[in-house]
Structure 1
Amino acid sequence: MKDLLKAFDLSTPYYNISTGQENWVGNSKKIIDIKSPVNNDCIGTIQLADNHSYKVVVSKAKEAFPIWKSMPAPQRGDIVRQFGDALRKEKENLAKLVSYEMGKSLQEGYGEVQEMIDICDFAVGLSRQLYGLQMHSERPNHRMFEQWHPLGIVGIISAFNFPVAVWAWNATLAWICGNVCVWKPSEKTPFSAMACQEIFKKILKQNALPEGISNIIIGDSDIGKLMASDYDIALISATGSTKMGKSVSQTVGKRLGKSILELGGNNAIIVTQEADLDIAVPAIVFGAVGTAGQRCTSTRRLIVHKSCYQNLLDKLIHAYKQLRIGNPLNEKNHVGPLIDVDAVNDYLKTIEEAQKQGGNLVYGNNVLKGEAFKSNCYVMPTIIEAHSNMSIVRHETFAPILYVFSYDTLDEAIFIQNNVPQGLSSSIFTQNMQQVETFLSNSGSDCGIANVNIGTSGAEIGGAFGGEKETGGGRESGSDSWKAYMRRQTCTVNYGKNAHLAQGIVFNL
């Protein structure tokens, strides 16, 4: 793993990297060892940023903003294109680092880096499509139109489960819109983030551009609070728990700043009596156990028509028994570790509470032991038969725990799905078009993502990503999400020889 760090010019112990200088500064006494959940080995040592480091970072960003925003958007897009090309060259190394530091399977690590490449491609095209509208004015010889301008500094707070991709969703769009970025990655996965920063820093240097266009600061929640309260940061895009998001929203709201919130998910799949189970089972299993259940889009609830309930449950148990759990760098393994022992404890406590509330454990509930699992972070994916009055199913636990419900009518299934505080991703499996359209109607899923015959995980970058209710309402990545990173300006030009007031008002002097 040391060879991987050297590939990105990262040495260990590695101290506060928040200033973008060779001799990192920072007076924080908070020094932490970053250990891999794969084998508990220490990847490196990080000195967390302090208030002084934070001010240095923001100062660099403020200095770079006038230079960056003055470049034509297509030229900014070309810088992002170069970043995407660099990611292609570094895909294997970066994927391995992500997998080792976070614990997701290597295939998922490759997928995460591919998401970064894809959003770079999307942003490059978008850099020539930052369109405004032209409207017909009610006044003669007037032209009315809208245009879009960059906001300034965009602050990005990302979570450990996608240590690099979610940053790229935000940063690439923010960059082509003319903004500069300050990124606070999770302190649980800093080295993957630093590798990305080193890659982009080389691109900036090759193009004689200031490093302050892209900034990184490794810190704990205190740094996040500084970002949320900072008037110099025009937009905060925060990914994480609902609790964190509520705090960010309140703090940013007090200063009337802008925020994009991507928070908790409690995602459900509905399987109707007319579903193709051969399609449904692989999607359910990956949705429930992929990334060891640590995706915001992980499948946490399965709502199955009573006519196929037992058949599907038997198929799931059979599939779970085929899962290989172990070192995620071994591509034969399906499931890697949870991020740390705290996550393991949450897994155990949740299963215990579910059983207390009447849930029937049908598979799992085991922390794996032995030399291959010496980090104590490997757990068995778990299936629990549930019922609607179990309060535990309304809460998100970042672990591979799947609750299974039965239902009689589609309306009942949709009610069960929607009857949680979160509203991120949802799916239905059916070959019945009427059921499909009901699920997609305004009486159907209340989530930001609604899928048919595919699972809840695996969103593509072309569509806007985000959810409703306690998921936060934010949208990142594709579609017209770029508008969140810009300010709209309505302009009216009088090219005539007379002064006309709107609404036909006459004001004679």
Structure 2
Amino acid sequence: MTVSTITQLQDRVLAALEACGVPTPDGSGELLTRSPLTGEALVPLTRTTLAEAEDAVARAHEAFLEWRDVPAPERGRVVKRWGELLTEHKRDLAILVQAEAGKSMSEAEGEVQEMIDICDFAVGQSRMLYGKTMPSERPGHRLMETWHPLGVVGVISAFNFPVAVYSWNTALALVCGDTVVWKPSEMCALSALGAHQLLARAVAESGAPEDIHQLVLAGRDVGAILVEDPRVALVSATGSTRMGREIGPQVAQRFGRCLLELGGNNAAIVTPSADLDLALRGIVFAAAGTAGQRCTTMRRLIVHESVVDTLTERLVAAYRTLTIGDPRDESVLVGPLINEGSYRAMVDAIEAAVAQGGEVLVGGNRVLAAEMPDAYYMEPTIIRMPTQSEVVREETFAPILYVMTYSDLDEAITLHNDVPQGLSSAIFTTDQAEAEIFLSGAGSDCGIANVNIGTSGAEIGGAFGGEKETGGGRESGSDSWQTYMRRATNTINYSGQLPLAQGVKFL
């Protein structure tokens, strides 16, 4: 890596920030963003102080008192404009995502497309915040439910999807009448600035209250304000199970709401009837894409003993063709791990797997260390495991795929479900009965269960989230909007009489 390479990256980032409308950073500040592409510092930024964060919550709360009374279709116009601006600046924001998260441009642009898609979804949802009318047992009465804005929503997002998952929450929260305070990952502050500035422009152009969206750039100390402040009605947090164990009880103690998207240890079952060509493509992308740093990354592969040798041979051959390096080169498929900590965790997991009886079939080596000593590029790794040992049951946020075998489907499903996490899952089969069993209550215990596709690549229309130690949250599509609202049951008496329910007599 040369000085010119570093300079080119910084220039590209500054140009993208300017295009999104972010004022040029003055070069001072203690929040120092670094790029996993090179390991070098990008742009120093000013950290949000505790007092500023508390003020952000206060301003969001005041704005909520006005925003909640704006008709929902009018609120949708802000999100519609945001989506238009995201479309216009898709490449600019993707450049920031690539620089901070280390993704290929295809994946970075795909992430921004998710933002555009959720804006489209939310605009439609702004006219469909439906309640139900139920039959009353009393004559001359109407029984119904209505949905109302909840309050301030605190969004704590992770580095691996620095803008997409945040937008799932924000687009829906805004059309539901909530305001948002966002604490992004410290590692992706520039992407956050770009997304925030585009939303701020949409707010201004739509004539909405300017404080409906707040951005705070800092670490756990500022995140704690969102967790502890009773004015924050909902905390939506994406991260590790450890983080969820800390946040959940604190929010519950003050009777706030939590939406948790935590760890994933996702698996696919490959049956004897599977189309192996299809399975091969689905497995490689799900296991190696984004350098294994998706919450839906495939980490376990449970293959029938009759096809395991054939499939693993083909997987090993495919892995050997994967191009690894700086994803600014469009021929590169696998980029870097986010930092040294992720690299150490991957190395430790590989060593533990071998100690627990595993055999490394391919990968496991660091590459490009001489050219870029502060960046961490690793070969995606396949390890054949005799059993689902301790290391296999843990989530390692890196491109490691553990391969195990089974003899009958019941055994495969038991093995599949025998982990603490419950996010995403898949089965590759051409047998309809196997597919139906996998999707039934006796099958996968995950929030996402797929047939003949991999574990990653969720669409906006479906609710996203998982069970068990994944936290139970649901974001994005389907009826996820209800998370951001409060429900009221209403009884209207137009009878002129006052009969009591259940036939109770009084007076």
Deviations 1:283-328 (A, max 9, x none): 1000011110000000000011111101100100110011001111
Cα distance in 2 for partners of 1:151, 1:307 equals 54
- The secondary structure found in structure 2 opposite 1:178 is coil
Residue 376 of structure 1: how far off its partner (Å): 2.8
State the partner residue of 2:200: 201
Structural RMSD (CA)? 1.2
Q: Percent identity?
A: 51
Cα distance in 2 for partners of 1:361, 1:326 equals 22
State the partner residue of 1:12: 25
Does the 8 A contact of 2:31 with 2:218 survive in 1?
A: no
Cα distance in 2 for partners of 1:433, 1:10 equals 56
- The secondary structure found in structure 2 opposite 1:128 is coil
State the partner residue of 2:168: 169
Cα distance in 2 for partners of 1:345, 1:41 equals 18
Residue 207 of structure 1: how far off its partner (Å): 2.2
State the partner residue of 1:271: 270
State the partner residue of 2:191: 192
State the partner residue of 1:249: 248
Residue 48 of structure 1: how far off its partner (Å): 2.4
State the partner residue of 1:491: 490
Does the 8 A contact of 2:463 with 2:480 survive in 1?
A: yes
- Mean CA deviation greater in 37-46 or 461-470: 37-46
Cα distance in 1 for partners of 2:108, 2:177 equals 29
| 1:471 counterpart = 2:459 | no
Give matches, 1:420-459, under 5 Å: 420-459=419-458
Q: Which one-letter code corresponds to 1:232 in the other structure?
A: R
- The secondary structure found in structure 2 opposite 1:396 is coil
**TM-score normalized with structure 2 length:** 0.96
Residue 372 of structure 1: how far off its partner (Å): 4.9
State the partner residue of 1:47: 46
Residue 41 of structure 1: how far off its partner (Å): 2.8
Cα distance in 2 for partners of 1:496, 1:371 equals 83
Cα distance in 2 for partners of 1:35, 1:10 equals 19
Residue 94 of structure 1: how far off its partner (Å): 0.8
| 1:94 counterpart = 2:107 | no
Give matches, 1:410-425, under 5 Å: 410-425=409-424
State the partner residue of 1:223: 222
- The secondary structure found in structure 1 opposite 2:427 is strand
State the partner residue of 2:104: 105
Q: Measured at CA, do residues 13 and 387 of structure 1 come closer, stay the same or move farther in structure 2, by a change above 3 Å? A: farther
| 1:286 counterpart = 2:285 | yes
Cα distance in 1 for partners of 2:112, 2:149 equals 27
Cα distance in 2 for partners of 1:161, 1:6 equals 23
| 1:335 counterpart = 2:348 | no
Does the 8 A contact of 2:463 with 2:475 survive in 1?
A: yes
Q: Which one-letter code corresponds to 1:252 in the other structure?
A: V
- The secondary structure found in structure 1 opposite 2:186 is coil
Q: Which one-letter code corresponds to 2:166 in the other structure?
A: W
Give matches, 1:104-123, under 5 Å: 104-123=103-122
Cα distance in 1 for partners of 2:196, 2:272 equals 49
Residue 370 of structure 1: how far off its partner (Å): 4.8
Does the 8 A contact of 1:448 with 1:468 survive in 2?
A: yes
- The secondary structure found in structure 1 opposite 2:190 is helix
Does the 8 A contact of 1:10 with 1:195 survive in 2?
A: no
- Mean CA deviation greater in 144-153 or 50-59: 50-59
Cα distance in 1 for partners of 2:390, 2:267 equals 15
Does the 8 A contact of 1:367 with 1:376 survive in 2?
A: no
State the partner residue of 1:132: 131
Does the 8 A contact of 1:368 with 1:376 survive in 2?
A: no
Corresponding pairs, count? 494
Cα distance in 2 for partners of 1:393, 1:345 equals 17
Cα distance in 2 for partners of 1:4, 1:142 equals 59
State the partner residue of 1:33: 32
Residue 497 of structure 1: how far off its partner (Å): 1.3
Deviations 1:437-481 (A, max 9, x none): 111111110000000000000000100000000000000000000
Does the 8 A contact of 1:61 with 1:213 survive in 2?
A: yes
- The secondary structure found in structure 2 opposite 1:238 is strand
Cα distance in 2 for partners of 1:100, 1:395 equals 29
**TM-score normalized with structure 1 length:** 0.95
Q: Which one-letter code corresponds to 1:435 in the other structure?
A: E
Cα distance in 1 for partners of 2:355, 2:117 equals 45
State the partner residue of 2:479: 480
Q: Which one-letter code corresponds to 1:359 in the other structure?
A: G
Q: Which one-letter code corresponds to 1:234 in the other structure?
A: A
- The secondary structure found in structure 1 opposite 2:319 is helix
Residue 371 of structure 1: how far off its partner (Å): 5.8
Residue 133 of structure 1: how far off its partner (Å): 0.4
- The secondary structure found in structure 2 opposite 1:175 is helix
State the partner residue of 2:367: 368
State the partner residue of 1:3: 15
Does the 8 A contact of 1:262 with 1:466 survive in 2?
A: yes
Cα distance in 2 for partners of 1:507, 1:370 equals 82
Does the 8 A contact of 1:64 with 1:213 survive in 2?
A: yes
Deviations 1:160-212 (A, max 9, x none): 00000000000001000000000010001111011000001111111232321
Cα distance in 2 for partners of 1:391, 1:300 equals 14
- The secondary structure found in structure 1 opposite 2:289 is helix
- The secondary structure found in structure 2 opposite 1:269 is strand
Q: Measured at CA, do residues 50 and 387 of structure 1 come closer, stay the same or move farther in structure 2, by a change above 3 Å? A: farther
Deviations 1:201-252 (A, max 9, x none): 1111112323211111111111222211110000001000000011110100
Q: Measured at CA, do residues 208 and 371 of structure 1 come closer, stay the same or move farther in structure 2, by a change above 3 Å? A: farther
Does the 8 A contact of 1:365 with 1:381 survive in 2?
A: yes
Q: Which one-letter code corresponds to 1:498 in the other structure?
A: Q
- The secondary structure found in structure 1 opposite 2:95 is helix
Residue 504 of structure 1: how far off its partner (Å): 1.1
- The secondary structure found in structure 2 opposite 1:391 is coil
**5+ residue gaps in structure 2?**
1-11
Cα distance in 2 for partners of 1:254, 1:45 equals 37
Residue 387 of structure 1: how far off its partner (Å): 2.6
Does the 8 A contact of 2:148 with 2:486 survive in 1?
A: yes
Q: Which one-letter code corresponds to 1:5 in the other structure?
A: L
Q: Which one-letter code corresponds to 1:33 in the other structure?
A: L
Does the 8 A contact of 1:327 with 1:372 survive in 2?
A: no
Deviations 1:317-356 (A, max 9, x none): 1100110011112221101001111111111111111111
Residue 67 of structure 1: how far off its partner (Å): 2.0
State the partner residue of 2:6: none
Q: Which one-letter code corresponds to 1:3 in the other structure?
A: A
Cα distance in 1 for partners of 2:240, 2:70 equals 36
- The secondary structure found in structure 2 opposite 1:70 is coil
Cα distance in 2 for partners of 1:412, 1:204 equals 54
